[in-house]
Amino acid sequence: MIRLVPDWLLYIVVITVVVFVLFRVDQRHDAPEALPDAPQAGSFLPPPSQYDPAVLVEVGPISSGLGSAFAISPDGWWLTARHVVDGCNAVGLVVSRGQAVRVQDVKRAEFADIALLKTDSAPVAMSLDTSERRFQIGQRAFHVGFPQGQPGEAYSRLIGRETLIARGRYDLEEPVLAWAELGRTGGLRGSLAGISGGPAIAANGQVIGITVAESARRGRIYTAAPSSILRLLRVEQVQAAGAAGERLTPENYGQVSDDMRRTLAVAQVVCVAGHDTPGT
């Protein structure tokens, strides 16, 4: 039985105006011009290297806000970004307007900006592809979630690896995949804040990363490497057991993304920080 907690959710959705931002790499909020959709063929993604370019990001202070997550097993395991749920007094997943399922447990990675969430169950679980050695430069990813607190998505092409260096509330260095943004669904402009924690999905419908950062000025989206996801699942002894979704194209990804949110394969995350808890 799904347990709904509309009291604190309604408080946070209606009262709180702070929305979780993605790790900020720069200060420009305008969406970049769409890039030419170049041919997909390319070389295989090389392994992480000390010579990979570095991108420095700042982890902001703990605050209430919104993010994205996606289910990876029917028994209620979800993946999201660590900075979306780090330091929260309570975490919930929105299941309908004004209603949410309370997250029972949060398992944060110490080595990457990713986290696991546990609920009683999940209606639809997504399939993971962690075979990043077979990824090809130029292949597509479709980023699904709740940018700016509203349903939205973008798509991109893989340009290579970088090293994400996070400083602020916590410090870490991790290999990430860098993607050049190619386009967005209609009406989505400005920052992608709020899509953080949502899945990056290959054209075959399998999840190949977690969106964790953006650089609007450079037109870049960064995702946690599949190897980091696999490492967290092994550490926490969680078995992913999802199914591949519908194939995605630049023409249908908006509609398919809507279906993912409608079936709760992708859900909005609500964080309540200590100083924002009702009654305090």
**Best CA proximity match to 153, nearest among 176, 126, 179, 181:** 181
CA 195, 200, 203, 204 dihedral sign is: negative
pLDDT value at 39 more than 60: no
- Give pLDDT, residue 273: 86
Which pTM value belongs to this model? 0.86
Least-confidence region, from 31-40, 44-53, 240-249: 31-40
**Best CA proximity match to 181, nearest among 166, 195, 197:** 195
Higher pLDDT residue, 72 or 61? 72
Model pLDDT for residues 251-267, shown as the tens digit of each residue: 999 999 999 999 999 99
The DSSP output letter for 128 is B
- Give pLDDT, residue 40: 56
Using pLDDT thresholds of 50, 70 and 90, give the confidence band for residue 191: confident
- Give pLDDT, residue 278: 43
pLDDT value at 1 more than 50: no
- Give pLDDT, residue 6: 46
Domain span including residue 40: 6-276
Higher pLDDT residue, 32 or 268? 268
Cα 180 from Cα 141, distance rounded (Å): 10
- 117: which residues sit within 8 A by CB, 6+ positions away? 69, 77, 78, 79, 80, 85, 91, 93, 103, 105, 106, 107, 269
| Residue 203 and residue 253 in contact, taking contact as beta carbons nearer than 8 Å | no
Using pLDDT thresholds of 50, 70 and 90, give the confidence band for residue 35: low
pLDDT value at 11 more than 80: no
User: What is the percent of the chain where pLDDT is above 70?
Assistant: 83
- 255: which residues sit within 8 A by CB, 6+ positions away? none
CB-count burial class (<10 Å; 0-12, 13-18, 19+) for 265 = buried
User: What is the percent of the chain where pLDDT is above 90?
Assistant: 69
Cα 155 from Cα 142, distance rounded (Å): 4
Assess if residue 18 is contained within a domain: yes
Assess if residue 1 is contained within a domain: no
pLDDT value at 168 more than 60: yes
| Residue 189 and residue 28 in contact, taking contact as beta carbons nearer than 8 Å | no
* Other residues' Cβ atoms within 10 Å of the Cβ of residue 159: 14
> Would you give the distance in Å from CA 148 to the centre of its chain?
13
Beta-bridged to residue 14, according to DSSP, are none
Higher pLDDT residue, 265 or 169? 265
Least-confidence region, from 116-120, 184-188, 201-205: 184-188
User: How many domains does one find in the chain?
Assistant: 1
CB-count burial class (<10 Å; 0-12, 13-18, 19+) for 39 = exposed
Which run of H or E residues covers position 235? helix 226-236
Mean pLDDT of 124-129: 96
Token match 């063929």: residue? 41
The DSSP output letter for 252 is T
**Best CA proximity match to 75, nearest among 126, 108, 118:** 118
Higher pLDDT residue, 67 or 133? 67
Backbone φ and ψ of 83, nearest 5°: -70, -15
- Give pLDDT, residue 88: 93
For 51, the token pair is 């010579």
**CATH at residue 44:** 2.40.10.120
Number of H helices and E strands in the chain, helices first, is 4, 15
- Give pLDDT, residue 218: 86
Least-confidence region, from 99-103, 112-116, 227-231: 99-103
DSSP, residue by residue, 176-215: EEEEEEEEE-TT--S--TT-TTPEEE-TTS-EEEEEEEEE
Using pLDDT thresholds of 50, 70 and 90, give the confidence band for residue 15: very low
